[in-house]
Amino acid sequence: MPSNIENANISALKLGTVDVTKGYIGHQEVYPNTREIQSAAWTSTSSLAAGGGSRVFRVTGDEGAAYDLAITGGSFSSNPTGPYIISSSPVDHSVSVATNNYCGYSAKTILGTVTPTGATTLQGGGATFTSSFTQGAGPAITIAGSTMTISTSNTTEYTTTINGQDFWTPGTVITVTINCNAVSGTIRFGFKGDTQSSRPLGYNSGYWGFPTNQIYSSSPDYFYVGSGTFSKTYSATLLGGSNVATNNVRFSGIMSGYSCNYPASGQSSVTVHAPNAFPDG
């Protein structure tokens, strides 16, 4: 509780000719009006692993000292914020730093900043106390120099003519061959099935089964995880009932990063398309 003359803080207090350093009413200190924070810092400033962990930010000061605390520079599972008033010194603030262990993530500087509020001052003057430590970087990205080619051939054709144009009908089979190569580093290679087809007005485009089950682009069939060359063949059968006709289909494959190996610079995944059109593929 501060001691004032009208609205001004008492700047000095004497008993006779002797300066009074502290004054109390009961057990509560009422003079001097200011409170001081002596220090504010991390208890450990050694580098934190990329995987994250807990650290303690410790504030030491007078009872009644008031301050705001800001923890910045990273991602946090728990992050204390102010305002705070010291009731017992020191005050320990626990901070949980989240993982930084992601491909290509750079190191982070985790900064704690204490700013006094009200009549509180910092030992030595100044506007803030700051303290920091470094969180390690995630693993580096490497480029595996990957390639994927997709070829198709029309193995079996069932057809119908609509308005003078030929279309495939159910039972048609297209062979899809995928050749892949990861020059350096492991890559995931997958097949996304048919990702585009066309149909005449009044008909359904059906779906392509492998041989009967569908493969969806949102959930590719990852057929190879590794480096070097590999080849995979799918047999695609047009299904879907009697009112199905289509004369154009696009099959797609995907190359995806694995353990921070990327198929191309700046790309964690690359989709490759192979169109196939009636009648020659």
- Burial class of 212 by CB neighbour count within 10 A (0 to 12, 13 to 18, 19+): exposed
89 C-beta neighbours (distance < 10 Å), count? 15
Domain limits, the chain:
1-33, 35-135, 142-277
pTM comes to 0.68
Residue ranges of the chain with per-residue pLDDT less than 50: 1-13, 281
pLDDT value for 170: 94
The CATH number of the domain covering residues in 142-277? 2.60.40
Q: Is 124 exposed, middle or buried (0-12, 13-18, 19+ CB in 10 A)?
A: exposed
Q: Which fold has domain 35-135?
A: Immunoglobulin-like (2.60.40)
Tens digit of each residue's pLDDT (9 = 90 or more) over 18-38: 565 555 666 656 556 689 999
Q: What mean pLDDT is reported for the chain?
A: 88
Q: Answer whether 35-135 and 142-277 agree in fold.
A: yes
